[in-house]
Amino acid sequence: MIYRKFRNLAGGVAFALPGLVLSFGGIAQESSPVTDRNAVRIPAKVLAEPYEPASRRELATDEVIAAETEAFKNGATFGSMREQASALASLFGRGGGLHREVWWNGEVQKSILGTSGQRIELGLDEIYRRTLSHSNQLKAIAGVPLIRETAVSEAEAVFDPEVYAESRYDRANEPSGSSLEREEVGALFRERGWTLDSGVRKRTATGAEIGLKQRFSQESSNADYYSLREQGRARATLSVMQPLLRGAGMTYNRSYIQIAKLESESGYSEFIGELENHLTEVNRLYWQLYYARGAHLEKRRLVHETESTVSEIESRGDLDSISSQRSRARSALASRKADLVRSELEIKNAESRLRTLINDPSFVSDNVGEILPGTLPIATMEAPSFEESVFEALSLRPEIRLAENRFRAADLRELIAENEKRPRLDFVGEVGTSTLRGSGDWTGAFNDQFNGGEPTWGVGLVASIPLGRKAEKARHLRAQLEARQAKDQLRATLDEVLLDVQIAHREVVTAWPDTRAKWEAAMAADQELSVLYDRREVETVESGTSFYLEKILDAQQRLADYREDFLEALAVYNVALTNLERAKGTLLQQENIDVVRGEDDRHLPLIQMVKDEAAADAKAVYDTYK
């Protein structure tokens, strides 16, 4: 039951995320990864080749994206959807912070379960640090951008020069059927020879295929028509094929590289989003553990007080307590003991879930038997600005960068499909020299290429067009529909992000009045029970001791219930504060978390997440900005 309550709170709208160099509302496009508060979100921080617009088409797409997001931001923050705390929530939330009473803080940080093994006190900062270092789930998602980054080099390899060589030796012994070969028909025509082709070829960014080839050959033959029975040849050729319509242009030929870079950045955005979601879940389970421990202490106190009261009612069996009263008292005690046993299970389950997310091997090696909460909950009102929250979310949320990159990639795919719908028209040209020497002297023939050899050349056009072009038109139409869909998806993502911020903001401004009201209810219940204890001697004279003890039993239960309600509301409030940071896209900055690129012991690239003083600069700048 406890798990479901906290899970519903932290749910929100989950996505997977920007890499960051955004331009909403005048935010700077580029900045130093050391001083920029958003450096952790910039893909260039860990990716070797980040995306940059490289054509007028891509710059125009960026302008469309900027216009869409700016229009949405203005409508969301200054239009009809502007958020304000309700008058009722403002009224109930008045007042300062809550006193850190012993009953809801002191014992929670002490050993409760009495299990074997070491007790270790962990605050949220330390839990985050251990999670970033050891979580297997985070290690898995950290590999996504690095895996996708390999596609960039793969796309760039299309333009790498290629050196090749091919050698062949042939030996022919064929009966002659012509007097040109042998005087006697049927005599064996013998031919020996080898060839060597070598050279370099390359595809350029304009789509041209350029090749430089050198051929050597040596031939010997007994044919009568040979004036030289042994010949050595050399031939050098430079060839060019440049597309003029289909496949032409730098924008088209580099589009696959740009798409690969966008996919790589999207992988980083997904990683950032999953990282934030994981830390939000860790935070939720931490406060679930805190609440479970506090609720267990309240149930233990309730059982102890109930035992004393029930014992007194039982002892008055010969005086004024009747059988039904004693049965109800025993029933109440048994029910409260059952709740106490169940509450211990809630502590163990919450701790196990938290351990699973952290994955710290020292929990096993150091024989850690119980985790004690080291961070106390925030018990003061935090009043975030809705406009500021929306502004930050639309500037920083990784889902938006992810949707933008999908739109950019879809637009590039439409450009590719549009180009491939054109007819094929290629310019071809070739120039070369060819030389010949006797006695199989191919080396001499090679030298003659540069000493008296005379070039041969040729140019031309190659054209082809499929009749109907149904396949090309279908691919172009599909690309157009996908581009439109990506644009609509960007708008849908902006809507979902706004909804996420609205819900998270409302939860914060509502959770605090709820917490304070339940605090006052717990204080009133505590006062009621104290009054009942104080007036026992006076009241029992008129109503009878056994009936008065029943009222005390009920008051004890109300106090325990109200205290548990308060503890739950306080934990929910603290989870809501963290969930709002996630909804704004500022959780990593708020927690001083940085991302660095390194290598593992096999010298493979590795993304590491750190939470230390090195990230404090970004946090300081962020706080100054706020």
Tokens in use for 404?
């933008």
User: Is residue 480 in some structural domain?
Assistant: no
Token pair 């839990």 is at which residue? 127
Kindly tell me if the per-residue pLDDT of 538 is higher than 80: no
Identify the band that residue 541 occupies on the pLDDT scale cut at 50, 70 and 90: very low
pTM for this entry: 0.81
Pairing of strands 118-122, 368-373: parallel
Whether residue 405 is found in the same domain as residue 508: yes
How much is the pLDDT for 461? 94
Q: What one-character-per-residue DSSP string does 371-412 give?
A: EEE-SPPP-S-----HHHHHHHHHHH-HHHHHHHHHHHHHHH
How much is the pLDDT for 15? 34
User: Is residue 65 in some structural domain?
Assistant: yes
Identify the band that residue 583 occupies on the pLDDT scale cut at 50, 70 and 90: very high
Rounded Cα distance, 94 and 250, in Å? 63
User: Is residue 486 in some structural domain?
Assistant: no
Q: Report pLDDT digits (tens) over 36-92.
A: 567 787 888 888 889 999 999 999 999 999 998 888 877 765 544 555 555 555 555
User: Is residue 482 in some structural domain?
Assistant: no
Rounded Cα distance, 232 and 434, in Å? 11
**Nearest Cα residue to 277 out of 522, 622, 86, 10:** 10
Rounded Cα distance, 237 and 453, in Å? 13
User: Hey, what amino acid is at 603?
Assistant: H
The answer to whether the beta carbons of residues 396 and 625 sit under 8 Å apart is no
How many alpha carbons fall within 13 Å on the CB side of residue 350? 32
Q: Which of the residue ranges 354-358, 374-378, 544-548, 597-601 would you say has the lowest mean pLDDT?
A: 544-548
How much is the pLDDT for 306? 86
Whether residue 176 is found in the same domain as residue 132: no
Identify the band that residue 324 occupies on the pLDDT scale cut at 50, 70 and 90: confident
User: Is residue 521 in some structural domain?
Assistant: yes
**Nearest Cα residue to 198 out of 144, 235, 159:** 235
Rounded Cα distance, 433 and 234, in Å? 8
Q: Which of the residue ranges 212-216, 305-309, 310-314 would you say has the lowest mean pLDDT?
A: 310-314
Higher-pLDDT residue of 192, 575? 575
**Nearest Cα residue to 2 out of 291, 355, 302:** 291
How much is the pLDDT for 257? 95
Q: Report pLDDT digits (tens) over 426-473.
A: 999 999 888 888 777 777 777 877 786 678 899 999 999 888 888 899
How much is the pLDDT for 447? 80
Whether residue 135 is found in the same domain as residue 260: yes
Q: Which of the residue ranges 317-331, 504-518, 585-599 would you say has the lowest mean pLDDT?
A: 317-331
Q: Report pLDDT digits (tens) over 512-523.
A: 889 988 998 998
**Nearest Cα residue to 375 out of 282, 243, 482, 440:** 282
Question: How many other CB atoms are found less than 10 A from the CB of residue 400?
Answer: 27
Whether residue 143 is found in the same domain as residue 275: yes
Q: What is the mean pLDDT of residues 211-220?
A: 89
Kindly tell me if the per-residue pLDDT of 93 is higher than 60: no
Tokens in use for 124?
């949220």
Kindly tell me if the per-residue pLDDT of 507 is higher than 80: yes
How much is the pLDDT for 286? 95
Strand segments (E) across 6-152: 118-122
Identify the band that residue 21 occupies on the pLDDT scale cut at 50, 70 and 90: very low
Q: What is the mean pLDDT of residues 304-317?
A: 79
How much is the pLDDT for 16? 35
Token pair 């502004």 is at which residue? 391
Q: Which of the residue ranges 20-29, 138-147, 189-198, 606-615 would you say has the lowest mean pLDDT?
A: 20-29
Total domains in the fold of the chain: 2
Alpha helices in 108-224 (DSSP H): 124-134, 136-156
Residue 205's domain comprises 161-252+421-475
The answer to whether the beta carbons of residues 127 and 286 sit under 8 Å apart is yes
Whether residue 356 is found in the same domain as residue 437: no
Identify the band that residue 281 occupies on the pLDDT scale cut at 50, 70 and 90: very high
Rounded Cα distance, 237 and 215, in Å? 8
How much is the pLDDT for 494? 93
How much is the pLDDT for 554? 87
Q: Report pLDDT digits (tens) over 394-415.
A: 889 999 999 999 999 999 999 9
Rounded Cα distance, 403 and 488, in Å? 10
Task: For residue 259, give the 3-state DSSP assignment.
Answer: helix
Identify the band that residue 155 occupies on the pLDDT scale cut at 50, 70 and 90: very high
Higher-pLDDT residue of 102, 3? 102
Whether residue 124 is found in the same domain as residue 247: no
Kindly tell me if the per-residue pLDDT of 335 is higher than 80: yes
Identify the band that residue 32 occupies on the pLDDT scale cut at 50, 70 and 90: very low
How much is the pLDDT for 19? 32
How much is the pLDDT for 600? 87
Whether residue 378 is found in the same domain as residue 321: yes
Q: What one-character-per-residue DSSP string does 274-291 give?
A: HHHHHHHHHHHHHHHHHH
Kindly tell me if the per-residue pLDDT of 219 is higher than 50: yes
For 609, phi then psi, to 5°, come to -110, 130
Identify the band that residue 387 occupies on the pLDDT scale cut at 50, 70 and 90: confident
**Nearest Cα residue to 424 out of 396, 388, 466:** 466
Residues 6+ apart with CB under 8 A from 527: none
User: Is residue 485 in some structural domain?
Assistant: no
Task: Give me the CATH number covering residue 581.
Answer: 1.20.1600.10
User: Is residue 481 in some structural domain?
Assistant: no
Task: Write out the H or E segment, with its range, that includes residue 24.
Answer: none
Whether residue 327 is found in the same domain as residue 312: yes
Rounded Cα distance, 462 and 481, in Å? 32
Identify the band that residue 119 occupies on the pLDDT scale cut at 50, 70 and 90: confident
Whether residue 129 is found in the same domain as residue 172: no
The answer to whether the beta carbons of residues 126 and 159 sit under 8 Å apart is no
Whether residue 94 is found in the same domain as residue 104: yes
Q: What is the mean pLDDT of residues 150-164?
A: 94
Q: Report which DSSP code applies to 34.
A: T
Whether residue 54 is found in the same domain as residue 197: no
Q: What is the mean pLDDT of residues 222-226?
A: 64
Residue 527: Cβ-neighbour burial (10 angstroms; 0-12, 13-18, 19+): exposed
How much is the pLDDT for 61? 93
Q: Report pLDDT digits (tens) over 159-188.
A: 999 999 999 988 877 776 565 555 666 677
Identify the band that residue 418 occupies on the pLDDT scale cut at 50, 70 and 90: very high
Rounded Cα distance, 452 and 435, in Å? 9
Long-range contacts of 90-98 (CB under 8 A, 24+ apart): 90/513, 91/513, 92/513, 92/514, 92/516, 92/517, 93/381, 93/509, 93/512, 93/513, 93/516, 95/516, 96/380, 97/379, 97/380, 97/381, 98/379, 98/380, 98/515, 98/516, 98/519, 98/570
Question: How many other CB atoms are found less than 10 A from the CB of residue 78?
Answer: 11
Task: For residue 163, give the 3-state DSSP assignment.
Answer: strand
| Highest mean predicted confidence (pLDDT) among 106-120, 179-193, 597-611 | 597-611
User: Is residue 72 in some structural domain?
Assistant: yes
Whether residue 66 is found in the same domain as residue 174: no
The answer to whether the beta carbons of residues 569 and 518 sit under 8 Å apart is yes
SS3 sequence, 486-501? Answer: HHHHHHHHHHHHHHHH
Residues 6+ apart with CB under 8 A from 345: none
